[in-house]
Amino acid sequence: MAVVFLRTFSHVELPTGLGVSEGRPCRRKQRWRLCSLYADSKYACAGFDPEGNGNNLAIRSSLVASTAAEAAAAVSSEQRVYDVVLKQAALVKEQMRVGSAVSVEVKPDLAVPETVYLLREAYDRCREVCAEYAKTFYLGTLLMTPERRRAIWAIYVWCRRTDELVDGPNASHITPSALDRWESRLEDLFAGRPYDMFDAALSDTVSKFPVDIQPFKDMIEGMRLDLKKSRYKNFDELYLYCYYVAGTVGLMSVPVMGIAPESEATTESVYNAALALGIANQLTNILRDVGEDARRGRIYLPQDELAQAGLSDEDVFKGKVTDKWRNFMKKQIKRARMFFQEAEKGVTELSQASRWPVFASLLLYSQILDEIEKNDYDNFTKRAYVSKVKKLAALPIAYGKSLVRPLSQQRQSSPLKS
Ligand X SMILES: CC(C)=CCC/C(C)=C/CC/C(C)=C/CC/C(C)=C/[C@@H]1[C@@H](COP(=O)(O)OP(=O)(O)O)[C@]1(C)CC/C=C(\C)CC/C=C(\C)CCC=C(C)C
Q: Under the rule (CB under 6 A), what is the footprint of ligand X?
A: 137, 140, 152, 155-156, 159-160, 163, 167, 245-246, 249-250, 253-254, 270, 273-274, 277-278, 281-282, 285, 343, 346-347, 350, 357-358, 361
Residue 109 binds which of ligand X, Mn ion, none (CB < 5-8 A, kind-dependent): none
- The residue among 60 and 218 lying less far from ligand X, judged by its C-beta, is 218
Q: Which is nearer to ligand X, 48 or 156 (CB)?
A: 156
255: partner contacted, choices Mn ion, ligand X, none (Cβ within 5-8 A by kind): none
Q: CA 304, CA 350: separation in Å to the nearest integer?
A: 37
Nearer to ligand X, 156 or 235 (CB): 156
| Residue 294 interaction partner, one of Mn ion, ligand X, none, beta carbon < 5-8 Å per kind | none
User: What is the secondary structure of 314-341 as a DSSP string?
Assistant: HHHHHT---HHHHHHHHHHHHHHHHHHH
Contacts 24+ apart (CB under 8 A), 289-294: 289/379, 289/383, 290/316, 290/379, 290/380, 291/319, 291/379, 291/380, 291/381, 291/383, 292/383, 294/319, 294/380
In the complex, minimum distance from the CB of residue 126 to ligand X, in angstroms, rounded to a whole number: 10
At its nearest, how many Å lie between ligand X and the CB of residue 172? Answer: 15
Output the smallest distance, CB 361 to ligand X, in A. Answer: 4
78 binds Mn ion (CB under 5 A): no
Residue 198 interface partner, choices ligand X, Mn ion, none, CB cut-off 5-8 Å depending on type: none
369: enclosing H helix or E strand: helix 352-374
Per-residue exposure over 187-212, b if at least 16 CB sit within 10 Å of its own CB, e if not: eebbebbbbbbbbbbbbbbbebbbbb
Residue 363, judged by CB atoms within 10 A of its CB (0-12, 13-18, 19+), counts as buried
Least CB distance from residue 152 to ligand X, whole Å?
Answer: 5
**Pick from 211, 248, 241, 246: which is nearest to 227 by CA?**
241
163 is a contact residue toward Mn ion (CB under 5 A): yes
For ligand X, the closer of residues 61 and 282 by Cβ is 282
Share of the chain residues as helix, strand and coil, in percent rounded to the nearest 5: 65, 0, 30
Number of Cβ within a 10 Å radius of residue 382: 16
Binding span for Mn ion by CB under 5 A among 4-12, 156-164, 314-322, 376-384: 156-164
Residue 101 contact among Mn ion, ligand X, none, beta carbon within 5 to 8 Å by kind = none
Q: How many Å apart are CA 259 and CA 348, to the nearest integer?
A: 9
Minimum CB separation from Mn ion for residue 163, in Å?
A: 4
Least CB distance from residue 113 to ligand X, whole Å?
29
Among Mn ion, ligand X, none, the one that 211 touches (CB under a kind-dependent 5 to 8 A) is none
Pick 47 or 140: Cβ nearer ligand X: 140
Q: Given the complex with ligand X, which of 112 and 397 has the nearer CB atom?
A: 397
> How far apart are alpha carbons 138 and 151 in whole angstroms?
12
Give the chain's length.
418
CB 309: neighbour CB atoms within 10 A?
20
| Cβ neighbours for 278, distance < 8 A, ≥ 6 positions apart | 242, 243, 246, 247, 248, 249, 250, 251
| Least distance (Å) between residue 285 CB and Mn ion | 8
- Which listed option, ligand X, Mn ion, none, makes contact with residue 245 (CB within 5 to 8 Å by class)? ligand X
Q: Tell me the Cα Rg of the chain.
A: 21
- Shortest CB 40 distance to ligand X, Å: 22
SS3 (DSSP) at 301: strand
Q: Are the beta carbons of 280 and 339 closer than 8 angstroms?
A: yes
Of the pair 58, 273, the CB lying nearest ligand X is at 273
In sequence order, which ranges of 98-175 are alpha helices (DSSP H)? Answer: 113-133, 135-141, 146-167
Indicate whether 167 belongs to the interface with Mn ion (CB under 5 A).
yes
Which lies closer to ligand X via its Cβ, residue 123 or residue 156? 156
Nearer to ligand X, 118 or 254 (CB): 254
Nearer to ligand X (CB atom), residue 57 or residue 276: 276
| Partner whose footprint covers residue 361, from Mn ion, ligand X, none (CB < 5 to 8 Å by kind) | ligand X
Q: Choosing among ligand X, Mn ion, none, which partner's interface includes residue 358 (Cβ < 5 to 8 Å by kind)?
A: ligand X
Residues that bind Mn ion (CB under 5 A): 163, 167
